[in-house]
Structure formats: C-alpha cells, structure tokens
Amino acid sequence: MLYLITALVAARRTVADGYDGVGFVLALQRLDLARFQPQPPGYPLFVGLGRLVHALGVPPATALAVVSALLLGAGIGALAVAVKRWAGPVAGGLSAALLALSPLSYALAVATLSDGAGLGGLLLAIYLWGRGGASAHLVGGALLGAALGIRPTYAPLGALLLGVLGAHSGRRALFRASVSAAAAVVAWLVPFALLVGPRTLWSVVAAHFYGHFTDFGGAVTADPTPGLPVAALLRGLAQAALGPAWPLAVLLLLGALVSGPPRSWPAPARRLVATLLVGLAVYLILALLALPVRGHARHLLPAVAMLLVLFAVSLGSALAVAGRRVRLALQLGCALLIGWLGVTSARTIWSFRAPTPGAALAQYVAASYPRGTLLYGGRAARFLDLYWGSGSARPTLHFGDVLTEAARLDRLPAEVLVTSEVLASAASRARLRTVARFCYDPRLPAGLRFDPYADGCVELRAYRFLP
C-alpha cells in the first residue's frame, strides 16, 4: 500500500526513469525492439500489464509505476510471511520493514522500470514454494515463469532459485516447478515472438547480448577501467540497501552475533541464513562479471533483498536468545535503524521524482522550440520522444554525424540543437552556444542516477549554420 500511494501521489512528477524507462513508456503505445521500445529481450508481460493499467485512464509512466508498486509490494509482504514461518515473527517483521524502506527497493517500486515488478513475482513464487506440496510447487513455478516475462534478464536468478528449491525440497519439487516454469515461459514467449517476428526477436536479442558484453553493457568485458569493480560493488550494495544507515546496521549485526551466536539459533533459521549466504555470493559474482555496477546500483536489487533478509533473520534469531539488557539495546537499535531508513527513503523518493537532466532538457525543448526542431544527443535527447513522438530525437554521440546528416537534408535548418553528450572538435565547440544546463538533484544518491552524465549535468547547445 505504501508503494501504491507513493506512485499515485508522485504521478505528476513521473516521466520516465532513464533511457530504459523511456523505452518502456514508449512501448505502451508501440512495441519496437529495434528502437529499444523497450530494450531487448522485450519484457512483454511488464509492458502488457502496463497497458492494462493505462487502459483504465492512468498516464503511461504512472501505469508502469503502479505495476511495479503492486507487484513488489505484494512480493515483499509474501516474503515476510514466509520468513516468519521459517525464522519467527521478529525476523518476518524486520524483513518487511527493511525491504519496504530500503532506498533502492522504494525507488524501484515506483519506477517505470521492470526491476521491482520482476523481483516481486519471484518473491511470490518463493512464498508458495515455502508452503510445500505439489500444487504449491506447480503454481510457484508458473509464477516464476511469469516473472521472467516481466523481467527476462532475471533468468539466471530464476535458475538459482530452482536449484535452491531442489536442494531443500527434493527432485520431485524441482521437476514440478521447472516444468511449470517452462510452460509459463512458452505461454508468453511464443505469442510475443509471433507478434514481433521470430527472426526480428532473435536478431535484436542476439545483437543486444553481444553489445552488452562488448560495447555498451558495462560488463567487465566492455569496461575499459582496469580490475574488477569489487569496491564499487560492495559500496553500491551497502548504500542501495540501507543508505547512510549502513554503519548502524553493521554494528547491530555484530552485537547480535556476539550476544546470540549462530549455534544458538533454531535449525530452520540457520538453514535459511546458509541458503541466503550462498545465494548472495552467487548473485554478486554474476553482478561482478556481467552487470554495470560502477554506473548505478539498480541491478543489485535482488542482492539487496537477500542481504536485508539475511540481516533480519540473523538479528531476529539473536534477539530470541539474548539477555534482557542486550535484547532491549538491540530493539532500540532496530527502531532507530527503521526510523533512519524511513527518513532517508522519504528524502530519496522526493529527489528521485524530481525531473532528471534528460527529462528537464526535453521539457525545455518542447516548451521553447517549434515541433520538429532537430535535437541530437544520447540518453538525454531521447526524452524528447516522450513529447514529440518516437524518433523525434536524433541519436548520435559525434558532431560529425550532425554535419553529415545536415548535408543530406533537402532544406538546411538555420539552427539545430545538440546535447553536451555529443563530442565535437575544438572548432565546432567554438560555434556551439550553450542554451541551458540541467542537473540531478544533488541529494539523489549516485546509485539512482540511471543515466550517467559528466558531473551529473547535461547541457543543451545550439549550432547555427552559416548562411
């Protein structure tokens, strides 16, 4: 409910969250994977659910935020119930509070991106599997398959969850859930492939996958920075999970482990912690190798969820066996941590819903220039497509492309617009006039700045052709 209320209250300030968010919003009008509407592999169920909400009269961007809010909110609630069953009511309550108020979780729950909605579907599957029984395994598997239709890039995480289910519930459970998940995937993948064209789908997905690891994706194979970004990964994980309150959480965890060591915890809690540690380690290795953790932390949302549940279970188990004074101190510390998280997340969401540099630039161009004015640029320029239609912005990062295209026009415009993302020679830069400058809210954490710009700002520049 918290997420849904926030998404509706912030509706007027919701435009799109980064380059990928623009693609999702545009996809509600027309699917076009070649133009990244949305980016491959298509996220068909997320787009479909967004269209259903949009059909009720909700604006496109807000419709996507509502889908994320409902699914992630439901997933967190279901996970808290499952944790309560496995590790007690204190651990379940802490899981719900920490996950709901985590800065990254809160932001992605009201975003126009599929991360939160996809994780919510996976959490619902985990809840059902935790109940046990053949029907729960089948329905949970179907939910996992549906979650992959919301966010197909969670496929490695889905495989990891199936492996955990097999380890804890046996081969029959694994078989039932796997078959059900595969059937659900086929149920959305086949119609989607027929809709966009099997060859088109394969070609754009293959090109996107290749580019992710060789050019634009931010994986270690495409990152020119030497070394593995271990420090960036751990720093991003701590800040995304708990914001500035992470040192307090570390102190609380250390106090809990000293006062109530793991050997004193109930066996179900110990098994859950061991499972979470293995899952967290595997996912962090995947993130370290294949995800752009240097730029922003949204790809760490599953790791944030595992980390916070791990913390909640450890603290809840320790509280159950700690002495009276230690228990009172830990309880006060938990209350302070939750309050701190609440204040931090409220400020974060307010900044998150302020116009981003790209959105502010597009709003300025749409309000100040006649429709059809040529705008060249990268991520920031694409926001203009939200106001003037898909393809209005001209994607380029080199000023030479601007001059080449101008030479091909039937009528040379007096002036064109470019963003500061476009690289130009010294001679060309001297003729570029700065029109306006747009920056991120300085209070917005770096991990939630989904489009990276030099010094957090982007400039709108004008180039006038000589008569």
What pTM does this model have? 0.93
Question: Does residue 295 have a pLDDT over 70?
Answer: no
The three-point CA angle 370-375-377 to 5° equals 160
pLDDT at 208: 82
Q: Cβ(86)–Cβ(269) under 8 Å?
A: yes
98-102, 201-205, 378-382: which range is least confident on average? 201-205
Question: Does residue 428 have a pLDDT over 90?
Answer: no
Percent of the chain with pLDDT over 90: 69
**How far apart are alpha carbons 350 and 103 in whole angstroms?**
11
**How far apart are alpha carbons 311 and 316 in whole angstroms?**
8
Q: What is the pLDDT of residues 322-345, one digit of tens each?
A: 778 888 988 899 999 999 999 999
Q: Cβ(436)–Cβ(417) under 8 Å?
A: no
Question: Dihedral of CA 330/335/336/342: which sign?
Answer: positive
Written as six digits, the tokens of 281 are 């380690």
Question: Which residues are bridge partners to 32 per DSSP?
Answer: 37
Q: What is the pLDDT of residues 354-372, one digit of tens each?
A: 999 999 999 999 999 999 8
Question: Does residue 220 have a pLDDT over 90?
Answer: no
Question: Does residue 293 have a pLDDT over 70?
Answer: no
pLDDT at 294: 62
**Average pLDDT taken over every residue of the chain:** 91
In order of 86, 208, 264, 412, the CA distances from 416 in angstroms are: 62, 30, 70, 10
Task: For the chain, state the CA radius of gyration.
Answer: 24
pLDDT average, residue stretch 286-303 = 80
pLDDT at 218: 67
